[in-house]
Structure 1
C-alpha cells in the first residue's frame, strides 16, 4: 500500500484532469436541496422533496441527507407531535436519531468511549427503533424503515437472525436495494462478528443473482476492501494483489459497471469510486483508470475514508495519479 502511495506522489499532477472534490450528495441533486431545508428547519420543503421521491425509487439517500444535519432533532420532534398520524415525520426523526446516536458515541474505539456516551448512543437508537417500527406498521410497503432498522440493529448488537430478518424485510420490498445489501454485508463482516468466508459468499451471491448492469456488483469490491482492511500491513497488499482477487473484481465489474445494461442511476458514483479504489489497490491500473475517468473527479466519502478519514479527496487524488486517470 505504501508503494502505491509513493507512486501516486511521484507521478504528480496530470494536466487536464478534473479537480477532485468530495461529492456529499453522490450525484443526487435533490440531496443538497433537502439538506439546506433541514438546516433552515423548513419542514414543508423537506416533506415536499421526500414526497417527490417515492419509496420505489429509493429515498434513503435523501433521508440521510436530512438525518446528518445537526440540529434537526430540535425541530423534527415538534413536527412528530403536531402530526401524530403521519409516518414521514417519524421516519425523518428516526434517521436523525440514528446519526445523532453515532455523534454521541463518536468514531473512537470502544475502550475510549465513556459509559455515559454509550448510554446516550443506545437511548437514541432505541428511540429511533420505536419510531421505525411505527412507520413500518403504518406503511407496510416502505423499504426505508427496514433499511434504517438494519443500521440501528448493528449499533444495538441484535442477534444475527434478527439482523437477517430485517434485511430480508427490506429486500422483499426492493430486491436490489443497494443500501440494504451494503448493511447486510457489514453485518456479516468479521469485524461485526461474521467471517471473511460468509462476507464473500454473501457479496457474490447477491451480485450475481442480480441482472447484469445492477449496482450490486459493488458488493464484491467492498468485500475485498473489507478483507484487505482487516489484515496487517504486508499481508494486506499480498491479499488484494492475488490473481484470483483481481479476477474476482474484474468479473464483478463485467457484471455491473462494464455491462451493456448498466445505467448511471442513484448510487452509481459511489460504485465507481469503490471499484476505482479496489482496482488501484489490486494493481489493475487499466481498470482503475477507467473507473477514475468515469467519476470525472467526483469523490464519494466511502470508500476513500478507509485510506484517509479526514481527507478522502486527497486519497482519491493520490490513487488517481498512480492510475493515470
Structure 2
C-alpha cells in the first residue's frame, strides 16, 4: 500500500546509512501500538485504540496500520460474527482486504500482472466493498468507510461518476480530509484515465479553497511530481524548473506549511517531505533546505520512492546534499 499513501514520523526503521531514516508512523505511539495489537490478534486493544481516535480527527493512518498487518483477514472474521451490529470490525475488515488485494496485484504495471493476480485482486476488493458499505450503513456519519471505498473503487475501475460520488460522500463528512483528496487526485491524474489539466485544476481548487495552514497544499506539489513522473528523462527536469512551476510550489507552500496557522500534527511530515522533493527537483535550493531542515532526517516513503523505490532514504540524502543540507 505504499503506492496509495505516505508514512510519517518517529518510530521508524533505519534505512541505509545513518543520517536519514524511513519512518513508519507520524510520531503517534498509537500507530505502533495498534499495529502490534493487530499482529497479535488482540482485538480488544485494536478496538480501544481506534475508538479513542474520533473520526473527526482522521484515524486513517491507524486503520492502515491494522490493514497492512498480515493475518488480520483471518481473525477479524470471528470478531464480525461476535459483534454482528458493530461497524468497526467491518471497517477494519474492509481496509485489510484493500491492502491484501494490492499485495496480490503488486505494484507492477498492468502488463506484468497475471490474470490470476488480477482475479485475486478484484475478488478481495469486492469483499472490501461489502464490508465498507456495511460499516457505512451502521455508522452513516463516519468518513473512513467512504475513504476506503474511494481506494477500492480505483482498483476496481468503477465508473467516473461513482468515483466522484464516493469522494463527495467523504468530504461531506470531513471537508479537508487529506487522504480523500489525495485519492481523488490520483483518480483524476493521467495514469488513471484523467489528464494533467484536470489534476492540476483539482489540486489548486482544493488547496486554495481550504483555509490557510491546512495540509491540502501538498496536493499542488504532488500534482507537479505526478506530471514530472510521466515525462521522459530530460523533459522531466525541464518541466520542474519552469518558472511557473516554481511559483506554483512557493504559493502552495505559503498557503500550507509556511502559513502562521499551520500546526505540525497528523500528516505534517509527509507534507514537508513532498515539498522537499519538489523544490529540490525544481532547483529552488533555499526552499528545499527549509523543508529538509524541518524534516531533520525523517523520511516518508512517499514521494522519495518515485526516485528510488528500493531505498527512499538514499534519494532523500542525495537531494538533501544537493540542497546544501
Question: Fold conserved (TM > 0.5)?
Answer: yes
Residue matched to 1:167: 167
Partner of 1:129: 129
1:127-175 deviations in Å (ceiling 9; x for gaps): 0001111111111110000000000000000111110100000000000
Provide the rounded CA distance (Å) in 1 between the counterparts of 2:77 and 2:301. Answer: 29
Paired with 2:236 and 2:107, the residues of 1 have a C-alpha distance of: 23
CA contact (8 A) 1:256 1:262 kept: yes
What whole-Å deviation, never above 9, does each CA across 1:273-301 have from its counterpart, x for those lacking one? 00000000000000000001101111111
8 Å CA contact 1:27–1:269 kept in 2: the answer is no
In structure 2, the residue matched to 1:287 is: 287
- 1:169-194 Cα shifts (integer Å, max 9, x gaps): 00000000000000000000000000
Partner of 2:242: 242
Counterpart of 1:11 in structure 2 is none
Aligned residue number for residue 66 of structure 1: 66
Q: TM-score, normalised by structure 1?
A: 0.93
Partner of 2:19, secondary structure, is coil
Q: Is the 8 A contact 1:23 1:300 kept in 2?
A: yes
**Structure 2 equivalent of residue 190 of structure 1:** 190
The Cα of 1:210 is off from its aligned counterpart by 0.5
Look up the match of 1:299: 299
Q: When the two structures are superposed, what TM-score results if normalisation uses the length of structure 2?
A: 0.93
The answer for the alignment partner of 2:3 in structure 1 is: none
Deviation at 1:27, TM superposition (A): 2.6
**Larger relative CO (CA 8 A, sep 6+): 1 or 2?**
1
Query: 1:315 and 1:80 mapped to 2: Cα distance?
Result: 43
Q: How many angstroms apart in 2 are the aligned matches of 1:130 and 1:158?
A: 15
CA distance in 1, matches of 2:28, 2:320: 23
SS at match of 2:224: helix
Q: Aligned equivalents of 1:281 and 1:171: distance in 2?
A: 32
Deviations 1:81-124 (A, max 9, x none): 11111110010011000000000111112122111111110000
Are 2:47 and 1:39 equivalent residues in the alignment?
Answer: no
Q: How does 1:128-147 map to 2 (within 5 A)?
A: 128-147=128-147
**Structure-to-structure mapping, 1:198-237, within 5 angstroms:** 198-237=198-237
2: CA distance between counterparts of 1:30 and 1:324? Answer: 35
Q: 2: distance between equivalents of 1:252 and 1:312?
A: 24
Q: Which residue does the alignment assign to 2:318?
A: 318
Large movers: runs of 4+ above 3 Å: none
Segments of structure 1 that go 5 or more residues without pairing to the other structure are 1-17
CA distance in 1, matches of 2:176, 2:62: 18
Contact persistence 1:26–1:300 (CA under 8 A): no
Distance 1:231 1:26 in 2: 31
Tell me what 1:5 maps to.
none
Cα deviation, residue 75, structure 1: 0.9
Q: Distance in 1 between matches of 2:253 and 2:38?
A: 36
Offset of 1:250 from its aligned partner? 0.2
Quote the Cα distance in structure 1 between the aligned partners of 2:162 and 2:271. Answer: 28
Residue in 2 that maps onto 1:265: 265
Aligned equivalents of 2:235, 2:215: Cα separation in 1: 29
**How many aligned positions are there?**
308
- Alpha-carbon offset, residue 28 of structure 1: 2.4
Q: After superposing the two structures, state which structure 1 stretch, 306-315 or 140-149, moved more.
A: 306-315
Give, in whole Å, the separation in 2 of the partners of 1:28 and 1:162. 34
Report deviation, 1:19.
2.2
Paired position in structure 2 for 1:96:
96
